[in-house]
Copies of this chain bind each other. A is one copy, B any other.
Amino acid sequence: MSLPTLDRRSVVPLYHQIQQHLLDQIRSGVIKPGEPVPSEQEISTRLRISRMTARQALKSLCDLGIAYSQRGKGTFVSELKLEKNFRQVLSFTAEMRAGGVRPGSQMLSFEVEDATSDVARALRLAPREKVVSLRRVRLAGSMPMGIEWSRLPVRLCPDLIDTFDPTTSLYRVLCERYGIEIVVADEVVEATLADAEESHLLRFPKGHPVFAFTRTSYIQSGQPVEYVKSVYRGDRYKLVNRLTQANRSVVKEN
């Protein structure tokens, strides 16, 4: 079983070098689903590192869902497909690119305005605090896919309204210009019918099924930074989710 040559002077931690090497072995099929990866003992002996470090490498693989450990038996490669499209915090731009389609946008409105009560509650705004409001039709090539209406606290991105090109990626600008990195989002999805305006904008028959999303996005501290209502065509859009087990520690008290 192959193990990497470690670079002890690298800024990359040892456990991460091992994790990446095993990931390569798994992706290239050298270690197949259901088969064991090297044990903690074997890794620590052969690479001359402490067992805790070897353990950390395997733990990080398990955290990715790529392997699982069984006490007394070993650590094995999961047989789960690692499809890329399990829902993550992706901008529309990133989502389209991942699907190999050229993403685009058509701006409907872009202005600073008062927050409605649902927006203020979701973004935890102070009274009378204003938001940047951006409404766009999202395109895949020239095909309208959905309508997105984002609201962000002006406080967090004061000159967005003057500097942002509404046909580009909002998430990239938030990250690069303001250092705002969205790490988690909560979303409610409903199945409804397109109304007259939506049908018109989507060039889509009225009364056909659509997904309606209401999403609030957060940075690591849990502070909300974006509230989005959007509508996507039911004939062009599917959701792909990976549901994981309820965490017993959290559930216990319910």
Contact = CB atoms under 8 A, between A and B. Distances in A.
B240 A187 contact: yes
A127 to B, nearest CB: 19
A240 B76 CA distance: 32
A188 B80 contact: no
Interface stretch (A137-145, A162-170, A214-222): A214-222
A79 B245 contact: no
A219 B222 CA distance: 31
Interface in A210-250: 210-211, 215, 218, 220-223, 234, 237-247, 249-250
A184 B244 contact: yes
Contacts of A218: 79-80
Nearest to A211: B191
A211 B237 CA distance: 12
Contacts of A185: 242-243
Contact of A88 (B79, B81, B210, B246): B246
A158 interface: no
Contact of A243 (B60, B89, B222): B89
B220 A191 contact: no
A68 interface: yes
Contacts of A222: 33-34, 78-80
B65 A184 contact: yes
Contacts of A234: 190-192, 209
A154 interface: no
Nearest to A33: B222
A248 to B, nearest CB: 11
B240 A188 contact: yes
B184 A253 contact: no
A159 interface: no
Most buried by B among A52, A76, A78, A237: A78
A106 B184 CA distance: 38
Which of A63, A218, A246 lies at the interface centre, i.e. has the most chain B CB atoms within 10 A of its CB?
A246
Contacts of A251: 84
B238 A189 contact: yes
12 contacts: A20-B249, A64-B247, A64-B250, A78-B222, A81-B186, A182-B245, A185-B242, A185-B243, A188-B238, A191-B211, A193-B209, A239-B239
Given A187-B241, A189-B238, 6 more contacts: A60-B249, A68-B220, A79-B223, A84-B254, A182-B245, A188-B241
